[in-house]
Structure 1
Amino acid sequence: MASDTLTPEVEAAVKSAKDKLDAHTYEIVQWHFHESTGCPFWLEKKKEFNFDPLTEVKGYDDLKKFPLFEDEWLRGGPVRRWVPQAYADKPIYVFETGGTTGIPKSRIAIDDFRTDYSLFSETLPDKYFPKGSNWLMLGPSGPRRLRLAVEHLAQVRGGISFCIDLDPRWVVKLIKRGKMDELEAYKKHCIDQAITVLTAGHDVKCMFGTPKLIESLCLGLEDKGTTLADVGITGIFSGGTEFTPQWTRYCIEELFGGGPEESGIYMTPTYGNTLMGLACSKPVTPEDGYKISYYAPQPRAVTEVVSFDDPYQSVPYGETGRVKLTTLTKEFFVPGFLERDEGEREMPYLTYPWEGVSGVRPFHGFASSTTVGVY
């Protein structure tokens, strides 16, 4: 830690956060590897390790003893092998990732998505995300956690969520077949659903949308002689690797008509997925060139920016590396998963006193084969 560049106040916060993470890591590892509480997958997998997680993992740094988490472990079933013994009688959800290349990755969930989005709710400014307001969920539906998560976010803030029907797997198939006319028609179908909700008198003030869909929605409303502000939207929660400073500048200045004080619309970028939860961003401002820096929801999840050559070695602050994720909840334990993203390692600051990542984009090692689709 480059302590000479941190204020004493931030240094103290960093140490406190690290102590909390170490204690939390110990608790989660004990839970997942104890016969009475652990899940069948990890209880079986530990027989292959040359160490005992119960006695040799004392803190976060000890997770390096584990091999990197392989995403193939999440493809196929039986899915109940991921359910901790202590939760065997709980109602279980299953959430899937893209599924565009064979069997989708899946994870079990009970309350993690509610916890993640309740915590995220506390970061939203009430001025632009008024309590009691209804929401529009303009994103993927089907077996993904996002729909239920945004519904919970609306409900925990006292509102009701309206959802559109969107199948990203069909979008990817259209792209791979070169059916761009059909792709545009499908996108218009999704946007038409959203505009119908927004113009039906439902008092929707808040929404989730991916960058591409927000842009299409703004242009679709413009075609009808209206704007996001005119139909009542004041707060937008968005996410996706398409979030670049260039797009954010265009969106805020051109599509919204200015920053929150001028347009009345506040947008907060996030970076998340089914495995991690939700990483919040540092406030995005014109003064900072619309730079977007994300901070994971420690201690429930941790992101590191690691060397392309050595996934156990963090890159220096400001340098580029691959994003490595660790998930640490009682429902789900994922040590050292290499994401399909890369970015720059960011310094801790007082609100989030741990490292962050900026400039998130598809990992260059296979960026050309990544189909983002409607996201």
Structure 2
Amino acid sequence: MTVESAGQNNADSEAAARAALDAHTVETVQWHFHESTGSPFWLEKKRDLKFDPLTEVKSFEDLKKFPLFEDDWLRGGPVRRWVPKGLDGRPTYVFETGGTTGVPKSRVVIDDFRTDYELFSDTLPDEYFPKGGNWLMLGPSGPRRLRLAVEHLCQHRGGISFCIDLDPRWVVKLIKKGWMEHLEEYKKHCIDQAITILTAGHDIKCMFTTPKLLESLAYGLAEQGTSIQEIGITGIFSGGTEFTPQWTRFCVEELLGGPAEESGVYMTPTYGNTLMGLACSKPITAEDDYKIAYYAPQPRAVVEVVDFDDHHQVVPYQATGRVKLYTLTKEFFVPGFLERDEGEREAPFAKYPWDGVSGVRPYHAIASQTTVGVY
């Protein structure tokens, strides 16, 4: 294939992805704003809009006509106002999202977490995430999406998921009170639970965890004369803003025993939340200095990197901006939300022919107010 033909193929893929996003956007808006299928929340909001979504949203760009989504809308109830009429009567979950103090922000979910993680499952290499393999969920439990989502991912792949108890609200409370000794003991309590499960003969091959907990687990296993590699883990799915190239290099070289082809342990970073779902990363390699670039699961969700002073303006490739999120499913509609993160805009590539984001970190203007607990 010539350079010219490869470039044309890329352009065609990007154009097709954009057309699919435009069509999906129109379909999603029609669903959420039609009297017969929309949610009480959006049908009520429709009265305050200065345009008619049913007739004036004809492409993804038209979402800029909406005001920014305010996450405080998710605080308090009744949560049923978020359930679309078209899905009324379906078994419904409520998950907490963001915020570790005050009234929790809640999102209702029916099947989105299953769909998101089934799509993610398709990106996992079976060599390291074997079908039928059991999993350990070493992360937040309770009313958080991650626990059920990882459990579904495991079951979807034919395995059984083992979980621990972990309350991130308590972790943040300990940090804010300066009770660091208590924090270390609580972290040790969580790691002790994980090691007990991993050494109980359950033949666990895969796991989800956060960077901080992965590091603590590696040290905890080392104290017992073993390692993540020796305990039998071959696939690790992890996520969090602390997933930096520097930490990834350290993790691969010092904690996992080297690159996957040498150690037999494969780690894939992800970026996501209860609003968006899960953005996958390009494969990380030493040759690329362990750079991590995330791509949202379009057309169900979109991530833009926008100008700090004008959220309608996408920054140039490789430039820095704030992360702006859109969620476009039948269960949940977010027409633009400014995340508490910033990063660099990444160009499309073959597997994901749409924009991505790299270098994700807390937004500089509020970074000092952000408490990072287990994430």
TM bracket (short chain): over 0.9
What residue in structure 2 maps to residue 108 of structure 1?
Answer: 108
1:19 matched residue in structure 2: 19
* Displacement after TM superposition at 1:349 (Å): 0.5
Asked whether 1:213 is paired with 2:213, we answer yes
- Counterpart-to-counterpart distance in 1, 2:374 and 2:159: 26
Distance in 2 between the 1:374 and 1:59 partners? 39
Are 2:179 and 1:179 aligned?
yes
**Structure 1 portions without partners, runs of 5+:** none
Contact conserved, 1:318 with 1:345, CA < 8 A, in 2?
yes
Matches within 5 A, 1:39-188: 39-188=39-188
Q: Distance in 2 between matches of 1:214 and 1:9?
A: 40
Given that 1:133 and 1:160 are in contact with CA atoms closer than 8 Å, whether structure 2 keeps it comes out as: yes
Contact 2:72 2:105 in 1 (8 A): yes
Per-residue deviation, 1:235: 0.2
Deviation string, structure 1 residues 238-295 (Cα, Å, up to 9, x no partner): 0000000000000000111100011110000000000000000001000000000000
Residue 102 of structure 1: how far off its partner (Å)? 1.2
Q: Structure 2 CA distance, aligned partners of 1:161 and 1:365?
A: 39
2:272 aligned counterpart, secondary structure? strand
Indicate the residue corresponding to 1:310 in structure 2: 310
Q: TM-score, normalised by structure 1?
A: 0.98
**What are the within-5 Å matches in structure 2 for residues 242-281 of structure 1?**
242-281=242-281
| Contact persistence 2:229–2:257 (CA under 8 A) | no
Asked if the contact 1:71/1:105 (under 8 Å) is kept, the reply is yes
Question: Are 2:252 and 2:258, in contact at CA under 8 Å, matched by a contact in 1?
Answer: yes
Quick one: distance in 2 between partners of 1:100 and 1:367? 16
RMSD: 0.9
Unpaired segments ≥5 residues, structure 2? none
In the TM superposition, residue 101 of structure 1 has moved relative to its aligned partner by 2.9
Match of 2:343 in 1: 343
Which residue of the partner structure matches residue 199 of structure 2?
199
Q: Secondary structure at the match of 1:107?
A: strand
Partners of 1:33 and 1:42 within 8 A in 2: yes
**Corresponding residue for residue 328 of structure 2:** 328
2-side partners of 1:98 and 1:168: how far apart? 10
Shift of residue 99 of structure 1? 3.5
Percent identity at matched positions?
A: 76
CA contact (8 A) 1:39 1:83 kept: yes
Whole-Å separation in 1 of the counterparts to 2:118 and 2:318: 31
Contact persistence 2:151–2:160 (CA under 8 A): yes
Q: Which stretch has the larger CA shift, 101-110 or 24-33?
A: 101-110
Query: In the TM superposition, what whole-angstrom CA distance separates every residue of 1:45-104 from its partner, at most 9, and x where no partner exists?
Result: 010011000000011000000001111111111100000001110011001024323111
Secondary structure of the residue aligned to 2:193 is: helix
Indicate the residue corresponding to 2:222 in structure 1: 222
Q: SS where residue 208 of structure 1 aligns?
A: strand
- SS of the equivalent of 1:7 reads helix
Matched letter for residue 274 of structure 2: T
Q: Alignment partner of 2:349: what SS? A: coil
* 1:22 maps to amino acid: D
User: Distance between the aligned counterparts of 2:266 and 2:278, measured in 1?
Assistant: 18
Q: Which residue type is aligned with residue 72 of structure 1?
A: D
In structure 2, the residue matched to 1:285 is 285
CA offsets 1:323-342 (integer angstroms, 9 cap, x no match): 00000000000010000000
Equivalent residue letter for 2:134? N
How far has the Cα of 1:188 moved from its partner? 0.3
In structure 2, C-alpha distance between the alignment counterparts of 1:243 and 1:104, rounded to whole Å = 25
Q: What is the TM-score of this pair, normalised by structure 2?
A: 0.98
1:189 aligned counterpart, secondary structure: helix
SS of the counterpart of 1:96?
Answer: strand
The answer to whether structure 1 residue 365 and structure 2 residue 365 are counterparts is yes
Q: Take 1:317 and 1:332, find their aligned partners in 2: how far apart are those partners? A: 29
- Count matched residues: 371
Structure 2: which amino acid aligns with 1:202?
Answer: H
Indicate the larger mover: 68-77 or 124-133.
Answer: 68-77
Q: Which runs of 4+ in 1 moved over 6 A?
A: none
Contact 1:98 1:169 in 2 (8 A): no
What SS does the corresponding residue of 2:325 show, helix, strand or coil? strand
